[in-house]
């Protein structure tokens, strides 16, 4: 189950300055607060690296049951790190998913409302 709750004004990390895991690895699940009115939640997610990879693909995933995960939004392939804004998120959980990478050292992916 998720170890962190995405709370306004605080970051929650799916990968927190960890050595790059194997390709095809999902990070820690982050619980997402429900938004009244059914419009979904808007938040930002950030990628950064201690040692930049020469190639990377990280996808945002969502789930309602922590078992079945679905990719959504824009994947990042920026090897310098990046901030991506998403909106309309209705999943109960989100996480970062490392699709692939070449090189690099530590990875951080965080979320912020």
Tens digit of pLDDT for each residue in 81-103?
999 999 888 888 999 999 999 99
- Calculated CA dihedral for residues 48, 51, 52, 57, nearest 10 degrees: -60
Of 64 and 6, more confident: 64
The candidate with the shortest Cα–Cα distance to 45, out of 111, 102, 92, is 111
Q: Note the CATH number of domain 4-112.
A: 2.60.120.230
This prediction has a pTM of 0.90
Q: Domain residue spans in the chain?
A: 4-112
* Top-confidence residue, 97 or 1: 97
Q: Provide the pLDDT confidence category of residue 11 given band limits of 50, 70 and 90.
A: confident
């Amino acid at each position: 189950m998720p170890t962190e709750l995405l709370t306004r004004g605080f970051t929650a990390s799916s990968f927190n300055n960890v050595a790059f895991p194997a390709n095809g690895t999902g990070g820690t699940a982050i619980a997402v607060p429900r938004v009244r009115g059914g419009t979904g939640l808007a938040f930002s997610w950030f990628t950064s690296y201690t040692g930049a990879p020469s190639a990377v693909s990280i996808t945002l995933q969502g789930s309602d049951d922590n078992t079945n995960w679905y990719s959504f939004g824009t994947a990042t392939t920026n090897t310098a790190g990046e901030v991506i804004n998403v909106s309309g998120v209705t999943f109960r959980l989100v996480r970062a998913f490392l699709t692939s990478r070449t090189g690099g050292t530590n990875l951080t992916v965080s979320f912020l409302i």
